Structure 1
Amino acid sequence: MGSAAITLGLAFICLHCGRASGTLLKPVTNVTWKSFNFLTTLQWEKISGDVVYTVRVAGIKSNWKKKPECTRMASTSCDLTSLMQNVTDTYTAEVLTFSSSITDETDEPPYTKSPPIQLLKETKIGRATFKVNKTTNAQIQLTIEDPLTHIRFSNKTLKTLRDIYGPELVYKVLYWKDRSSGKKTVIAKDQVLILDVDPGVSYCFTIQPHIKSPYKYGQKSSFQCTSSKGDFLSDYSIGVYALIGFGALLLLSIIIGISVYLCRRKTAQNVPEANPLKPV
């Protein structure tokens, strides 16, 4: 009986020591990057157990760095954008696993290394916005606004795509006559584009950022259409058309409802006259 108790106690002590040293902890799995307009986040799958995570990142041209927000945290994602401001560098991150109940981190914990990421090539590009203005009856001007990124200048202001890619950034402009299936494409190298059009005809436009090197496209914008009457231009999108259609249906429903109500009221008033009570 005594020897069994001693054996059990030793096993408990060994188990506790194993936990303290981190040998029972497991590294995380499925470590992936997500980057959109240079907003870059590391994600991974949660493992079982009462654990916390610490993330560190390094580039070929930079040493290992940590964010206070991503140190001993329970979350399974970490925004590393502020530590990855050199878009020409290639970065690798590590996710370290710790026991949440043990603060002594003298031993090297289990960790999982991310795949490398090069932001210039791998970040996804969003859509750009633009304005349409008619300069003459036969010309239309498109003014494009370069999308902002999450990379900052030394004064902390945000850089645009053009600040990062320079002349490698162009815009694919797709335009067509309203209610026509024929479409034309033109490349805009600058933020202002002048197009010759047929007078008195409505045109629709959509644009898409294009990075020539490294070769990739951004998201397409919603389309905008000009008005064929006068010089007035309006922005049209699927949402606007849906709103106009909903308003028309609502107005029609109100008119029908009022008409039905008035007809029923008139009928109710005419019934006594058409069937007068006969005197006894």
Structure 2
Amino acid sequence: MLRAAAGGPALLLSALLWSLAAAGNPELPTAVNITWSSINFKTILQWQPKPSGYLYTVEIHGQTSDTKKKCILTTETECDVTDLLRNVRETYTAHILSVMSSGMDNFEEPPFAVSEKFTPYSQTVLGKPEIQNYTQKGSKLNVVFQDPLTPYTFPNGSFQSIRDIFQNDLEYKIYYWKDQSSGKKDATTKSNTFEESVDSSKNYCFYIQGIIPSRKENRNGQESMVLCTSIGRNILDEYGAEVFIIIAVIAIAIITSAVVLSVILCKRKKAKAAREKEPLNGV
């Protein structure tokens, strides 16, 4: 009885404080449309709406890692969480907390929204490969390219590439075709070079993209810029036959006009000469 009596005021005070806190912090709006945007492991979390009278705090929850906070008490609706996802094979969820500007309440958990699950290794998009050099010599098209870099670094400070992370899971595909043609061929490699057999008399265009064949989704990466070889391109290759048809029509029109004008001038000259040879009237 003494213990119960002694604990009564403490319990009553706790309940009163909790009630006051709840009364002073009505239910806040929670985030909606939460999305993960990730290219080459640089990952941005985005959501809506813009806060009014409250702030957001982001919590990243991993399946095996401790909860970490980022973008604490922010008015923004996006947060770069790249540095919290270094274990790229871990699966994460984000909690977007809606909190008052004075900070999170000690007596109750603030309202929050939960994102979809995100696993960087299987969901980040592969960025565009950088083409360093390409040549067409005889019947060989040679292309050398560089792996996209990630935001993560080695102990010496140099940036890791996507190959450093994906290793043998990473492949590249080249699509190439004769210039001015729509028929495409393709080939794959696990290296950073392509050497393809082509028609030595034709120019070729091509682009490259990274591929993760083991993925069920997001298998294909972003496409590199399209480049074309140049082995003595002539005007017909550059502009097509249509331009020559137009030029020929214009040339024929000019020649025809010149001939007609010459005939007219010749007839006028003959007529003038004939008039000059006629005797004057009355002589």
| TM > 0.5 | yes
Secondary structure at the aligned position of 2:224 is classed as coil
Please give the alpha-carbon distance, in whole angstroms, between the structure 2 residues aligned to 1:141 and 1:184.
15
Please give the alpha-carbon distance, in whole angstroms, between the structure 2 residues aligned to 1:24 and 1:182.
60
Shift of 1:84: 0.5
Letter in 1 for 2:41: F
Aligned to 2:65: 62
8 A Cα contact 1:204 1:224, kept in partner: yes
8 A Cα contact 2:136 2:231, kept in partner: no
Q: Per-residue CA shift, 1:232-279, capped at 9, x if unaligned?
A: xxxxxxxxx9xxxxxxxxxxxxxxxxxxxxxxxxxxxxxxxxxxxxxx
Please give the alpha-carbon distance, in whole angstroms, between the structure 2 residues aligned to 1:139 and 1:34.
39
* TM-score for the superposition, normalised by structure 2: 0.68
Secondary structure at the aligned position of 1:61 is classed as coil
Deviating above 6 A after TM superposition, structure 1's stretches of 4 or more consecutive aligned residues are: none
Q: Per-residue CA shift, 1:56-87, capped at 9, x if unaligned?
A: 112112101113xx111111111100111111
Q: Per-residue CA shift, 1:60-119, capped at 9, x if unaligned?
A: 12101113xx1111111111001111110001111111111x346312211112221011
Q: Per-residue CA shift, 1:206-238, capped at 9, x if unaligned?
A: 1111111124001112211111229xxxxxxxx
Secondary structure at the aligned position of 2:66 is classed as strand
Aligned to 1:200: 201
8 A Cα contact 1:200 1:229, kept in partner: no
8 A Cα contact 2:172 2:209, kept in partner: yes
* TM-score for the superposition, normalised by structure 1: 0.69
Letter in 2 for 1:30: N
Please give the alpha-carbon distance, in whole angstroms, between the structure 1 residues aligned to 2:51 and 2:166.
43
Please give the alpha-carbon distance, in whole angstroms, between the structure 1 residues aligned to 2:184 and 2:76.
47
Aligned to 2:246: none
| RMSD, matched Cα | 2.5
Judging changes above 3 Å, is the alpha-carbon distance between structure 1 residues 26 and 179 closer, same or farther for their aligned structure 2 residues?
closer
Please give the alpha-carbon distance, in whole angstroms, between the structure 2 residues aligned to 1:220 and 1:103.
45
Please give the alpha-carbon distance, in whole angstroms, between the structure 2 residues aligned to 1:52 and 1:133.
51
Q: Per-residue CA shift, 1:151-193, capped at 9, x if unaligned?
A: 3334443221111111221111111111222221111221012
Letter in 1 for 2:69: K
8 A Cα contact 1:120 1:214, kept in partner: no
**Which consecutive unaligned segments of at least 5 residues does structure 1 have?**
1-13, 231-240, 242-280
Equivalence map 1:62-101=2 (5 Å): 62-67=65-70, 70-100=71-101
Judging changes above 3 Å, is the alpha-carbon distance between structure 1 residues 51 and 203 closer, same or farther for their aligned structure 2 residues?
same
Secondary structure at the aligned position of 1:62 is classed as coil
8 A Cα contact 1:167 1:189, kept in partner: yes
Alignment of 1:51 onto 2:54:
yes
Please give the alpha-carbon distance, in whole angstroms, between the structure 1 residues aligned to 2:136 and 2:227.
16
Aligned sequence identity (%): 36
Alignment of 1:226 onto 2:193:
no
Alignment of 1:24 onto 2:27:
yes
Aligned to 1:36: 39
Aligned length: 214
